[in-house]
Amino acid sequence: MRRLDLNEHLEDFLIHLRDVRRMSPNTLRAYRSDLAAFLAWLPSEVSIPDRLDVRRYLVELQDQELKTSSIQRKLASLRAFFRHLRDHGILATDPARLVKGPKAGKRIPRFLTVPQVDALLNQPFPDTTNGLRDRAILEFLYSTGCRVSEATTLPLRYLDLHSGSVRVLGKGRKERIAMLGRAACRAIQAYLPARQEVLVNTQSRDPGVLFLNRFGRGLSARWIFQVVLEHARRANIPERLTPHGLRHSFATHLLDRGADLRAVQELLGHARLVTTEIYTHVSMARLREVYDKAHPQGADA
């Protein structure tokens, strides 16, 4: 039997992900890497991979002591690829459909306490272009719960400071509405004249995004990571804080104050509720701590 040329179909699949599903270049690179590794591993005598081949591959990945999350990602790539081939009549069955990956323990996301967030946002910022911008970045991330990629690409025209809301293009170019608190609106309003001054001084064409570097171009994700890390250090926050840590804090604090889980899912832009449910474990852990300290029959009684 002539071996199916999966490499040829891989290219078609990646084009589908780019043009139809509108996936980002980083996501496409991950798919290409995962699938190319499997095709390189596949024995040459195999004409069409089956379920046993997929299972053997996962076992070898586990023997290499890869992280469970990495193996699960590679399996997800295989499932998407084979499902695409089946749906287009290239394969009769999907060899990865019923294959289960290794179970991962639920990892509790790191987040700041409310006093830590207060210390981060209420620290003194210099009255300079960078100082005004950095305060606006931190207020924006905590107020909206946005991903760093969403913050770097946010069009200025999507802001509505009057209503305190912003349109956000999330993963898969799915649009949602995020909320801006009063402090975030004030910080952004204070930053906008400085943003305009950067464009005038550099004689740059306005790129249209909210946060700019000193050259008048859109700020990179790496730079926002540095902004968050530096100001967390200045606020004496012991954890190595990342922009995603502010997103975790946003979700946790909402749930701690009684927000509906589906509302938080909508604000975060999660496609599935199960992704948001990780934050209920955080809240329950804190409730347990309060209970143990306060209840007459708690752990500290």
Q: Which residues are catalytic?
A: 147, 171, 244, 247, 270, 279
Cβ(190)–Cβ(131) under 8 Å? no
Length of the chain: 301
> Which residues lie across from 178 on neighbouring strands?
166
The kind and range of the H/E element at 17 are: helix 6-19
Q: 10 Å Cβ neighbour count for 127?
A: 9
CA 188/CA 140 separation, integer angstroms: 8
What does the CA dihedral 53, 56, 58, 60 come to, rounded to 10 degrees? -130
CA distance 283 to 212: 36
Mention every residue, 6+ apart, whose C-beta is less than 8 A from residue 289.
none
**Amino acid at position 288, single letter:** R
- Compute the distance between CA of residue 206 and CA of residue 193 in angstroms, rounded to an integer: 13
Q: Coil, strand or helix: which one is 168?
A: strand
In one-letter notation, the amino acid at residue 77 is S
Q: Give the tokens for residue 130.
A: 């960078």
DSSP 8-state secondary structure symbol assigned to residue 42? S
